[in-house]
């Protein structure tokens, strides 16, 4: 912890003629690592239940500079809204702003949740930006209709079929027709996805994400929620190999599983677990060589 309180202030910067707004969190004394929070989904720099605000303050109190910002068309930034697949220019402008307003920062860490994590990987795939030193990815978004259908079958319908209550409702005609229709649709999508051409996969944003992760030479912290279909779809995709082959064995990849957390880590214990994991991991980045791939539990202890 630093001896004096961190400060935070609004900063503006330009991205292709549009004014973007961010909040810069500066510790009283910082090292050379700075974190850029990439906001995913249709939300702005505060995040769900002010998660990004609280995270940035916790990291600044630990001596790390943080910038969280609104992409074009969101929050207080100008311009037209765009999807997570089209924010490379926004991220590049924000990195430049972080380095300008926090001149002690030399190494940038991209931090993203859901499609913010996806946007971070797509940015690296599109730019190969050498200023990015490490990645912190939470519940990366790899959604596809077949992939999500497979995840629902594996983690929801399979569990339901094992429940006596479900069979009782089915025999009494208490299972809604919509639920049966959805189950049948999921099976069809999962089967069709398994037989789809690899050429389609190679042109997808998921392929670009996987390629960026394989080629990235820095450290990666992957935080996954246990009560989240987005996280489960990601792990299912990696476990199935294909374009994600070898991901779990990547040098420098550290995986942190939070089994009781939901998608946005909305409960205080989950939010604090994320903050603690990120602080510990950032402190370890002073090492020049990447550590072996590992998995840690809620308290940061290695899992075997």
Q: pLDDT-based confidence at 43, cuts 50/70/90?
A: confident
**How many of the other CB atoms lie within 10 Å of CB of 215?**
10
Q: Is 185 helix (H, G, I), strand (E, B) or coil?
A: helix
Domain count of the fold of the chain = 2
**Would 200 be classed as within a structural domain?**
no
Cβ atoms of residues 20 and 75 within 8 Å: no
pLDDT at 40: 85
Backbone angles phi, psi at 124, to 5 degrees: -65, -40
Q: Quick one: 85 and 27 in the same domain?
A: yes
**Would 268 be classed as within a structural domain?**
yes
Residue range of the domain that includes 173: 146-194
**Would 199 be classed as within a structural domain?**
no
Q: Quick one: 217 and 109 in the same domain?
A: yes
Residues facing residue 65 across a β-bridge: 34
Q: Tell me how many degrees the CA angle 283-277-31 measures, rounded to the nearest 5.
A: 25
Cβ atoms of residues 42 and 74 within 8 Å: yes
Q: Quick one: 240 and 95 in the same domain?
A: yes
What's the CA gap between 62 and 27, in Å, rounded?
8
- List pLDDT tens digits, range 55-72: 999 999 999 999 999 999
Q: pLDDT-based confidence at 30, cuts 50/70/90?
A: confident
What's the residue count for the chain? 304
More confident residue, 150 or 146: 146
Segment (H or E) for 123? helix 115-127
- List pLDDT tens digits, range 89-142: 999 999 999 999 999 999 999 999 999 999 999 999 999 999 999 999 999 999
Q: Quick one: 160 and 140 in the same domain?
A: no
The pTM for the full model equals: 0.79
More confident residue, 241 or 188: 241
Q: Quick one: 40 and 179 in the same domain?
A: no
Q: pLDDT-based confidence at 300, cuts 50/70/90?
A: very low
Q: Quick one: 166 and 72 in the same domain?
A: no
pLDDT at 295: 53
Looking up residue 131, the CATH number of its domain turns out to be 3.40.50.1820
Q: Quick one: 136 and 150 in the same domain?
A: no
Q: What is the mean pLDDT of residues 148-156?
A: 56
- List pLDDT tens digits, range 171-193: 555 545 444 344 444 334 445 55
Examine the pLDDT at 278 and tell me if it is beyond 90.
yes
Q: Quick one: 42 and 184 in the same domain?
A: no
The two structure tokens encoding residue 98: 């972080």
Q: Quick one: 289 and 219 in the same domain?
A: yes
**Would 94 be classed as within a structural domain?**
yes
Cα-to-chain-centroid distance, residue 96: 21
**Would 2 be classed as within a structural domain?**
no
- Of 120, 113, 122, 123, whose CA–CA distance to 135 is shortest? 120
Q: Quick one: 212 and 189 in the same domain?
A: no
Examine the pLDDT at 34 and tell me if it is beyond 80.
yes
| Sheet hosting strand 107-113, strand order edge to edge | 7-15, 18-26, 65-69, 33-38, 107-113, 132-138, 219-225, 253-258, 294-296, 302-303
Q: What percentage of the chain reaches a pLDDT higher than 90? A: 69
The two structure tokens encoding residue 7: 């400060």
What's the CA gap between 39 and 111, in Å, rounded?
9
**Would 72 be classed as within a structural domain?**
yes
Q: What is the mean pLDDT of residues 263-281?
A: 97
Q: Quick one: 176 and 48 in the same domain?
A: no
**Which range (126-130, 141-145, 291-295) has the least confidence?**
291-295
Q: Quick one: 108 and 72 in the same domain?
A: yes
**Would 172 be classed as within a structural domain?**
yes
Residues 6+ away with beta carbon under 8 Å from 172: none
């Amino acid at each position: 912890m630093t001896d004096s309180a961190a400060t935070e202030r609004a900063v503006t910067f330009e991205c292709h003629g549009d004014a973007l707004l961010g909040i810069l969190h500066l510790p009283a004394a910082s090292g050379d690592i700075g974190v850029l929070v990439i906001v995913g989904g249709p939300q702005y720099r505060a995040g769900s239940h002010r998660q990004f605000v609280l995270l940035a303050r916790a990291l600044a109190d630990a001596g790390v500079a943080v910038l969280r910002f609104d992409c074009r068309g969101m929050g207080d930034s100008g311009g037209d809204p765009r999807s997570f697949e089209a924010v490379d220019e926004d991220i590049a402008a924000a990195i430049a702003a972080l380095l300008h307003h926090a001149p002690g920062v030399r190494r940038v860490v991209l931090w993203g949740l859901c499609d913010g994590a996806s946007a971070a990987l797509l940015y690296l795939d599109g730019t190969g930006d050498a200023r990015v030193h490490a990645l912190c990815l939470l519940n990366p978004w790899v959604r596809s209709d077949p992939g999500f259908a497979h995840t629902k079958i594996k983690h929801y319908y399979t569990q339901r079929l094992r429940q006596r209550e479900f069979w009782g409702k089915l025999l009494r005609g208490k299972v809604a027709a919509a639920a049966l229709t959805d189950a049948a649709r999921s099976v069809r999508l999962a089967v069709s996805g398994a037989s789809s051409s690899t050429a389609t996969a190679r042109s997808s944003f998921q392929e670009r994400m996987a390629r960026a992760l394989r080629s990235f030479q820095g450290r990666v912290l992957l935080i996954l929620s246990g009560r989240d279909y987005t996280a489960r779809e990601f792990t299912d995709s990696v476990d199935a190999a294909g374009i994600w082959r070898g991901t779990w064995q990547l040098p420098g990849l550290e995986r942190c599983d939070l089994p009781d957390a939901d998608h946005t880590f909305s409960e205080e214990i989950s939010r604090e677990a994320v903050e603690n994991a990120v602080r510990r991991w950032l402190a370890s980045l002073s090492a020049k060589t990447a550590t072996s791939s590992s998995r840690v539990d809620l308290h940061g202890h290695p899992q075997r």
